[in-house]
Structure 1
């Protein structure tokens, strides 16, 4: 299934959860704070800008934000919050699409690089980020650490989240570094379930660093979250900052 088919109108209309989940202040606040700091006085470019979860509050902080987005339904949702003059968006693939100008910061949040399903596409994404940056510019990626330790021997599925009304299950193809996240939402009134799926190619931090080197980046910092917590062997995610040569 193509990415533009996954991020359809149905998903776009249900994507925003104001005040909760990825939109919770304790999640979104540190993200915007850190990105504003890294952008400095320069403009920022968001790959896979989506409905503007991060871009809208970042622009509200005075950062000039441009986006690249493949899904037209997601972009239509963004346009209910910010017009083209406020946040310009180029429609296209984050691995290949070109935005005008140069930027001090390119960022890619919430595991989105894993939506590119081949290593070659992920490397191309790094190279695309490098093309858009000024000398000394930064590329920031937020990504989960593959949690294969939870995968029982001989099995290829693990429950990653369970709460009333929702069940999340990841199925793994460890040979190709692929996983599919299955999201099951239950309606307590109708007793019906809504099922959606999203395919990913998971990436180890070391492999991500090599992709950066191939595109001319050096790893500047890595933390477990946007607040700057130490990254350890038990961290479930990381925020990695790559920098081009000055």
Structure 2
């Protein structure tokens, strides 16, 4: 029996053209492709990953959805991850090539990270295929560098308070704020109250893309889960 393997495959930030050649080759050769999907309040399925997959030269009959709850408390999806890991391990032990896809980069706040312990315990082969993180796309869309020379960049997946964010901005050249929806109640007013330049992006690389540097466009906007802000203090510009 041929030896199976599990691949964590990054799809990039949403633009189908930003998937890597290596990722595409792995997906084309895979026997099974697991992709994340969510179910909205109307019972409709939504998958950023499938938006990318359907534009590739891939047989989508081998693509299987994995319903993942988009909740910040990770205990809500532990059972889902355990089942995904167990199913992937079983298939790989049968000699199958299994691909588990994720938006962005596979090692950067990715679902795949929650599966690795189970793969190691089962002593199965796995490989991680990197991709373009969303904040790198944001930098490109902003038409300005995220950092230059000796600039420090801080990526924050969570913010405890306005004061914490203000402190981080004061001590770092560039702050990348992920999951902006967690602070949607105060982030626009906060940015307006301090001296910074910012770039906001949501659903970047998709047909729902919206970006702005205008604080008035950000105020009152319904900020979704897939959103990012790049913040630069004006006094640190060169």
Q: Normalized against structure 2, the TM-score is what?
A: 0.36
Determine which structure has more spread, i.e. the larger CA radius of gyration: 2
Structure with greater contact order relative to length (CA < 8 Å, sep ≥ 6): 2
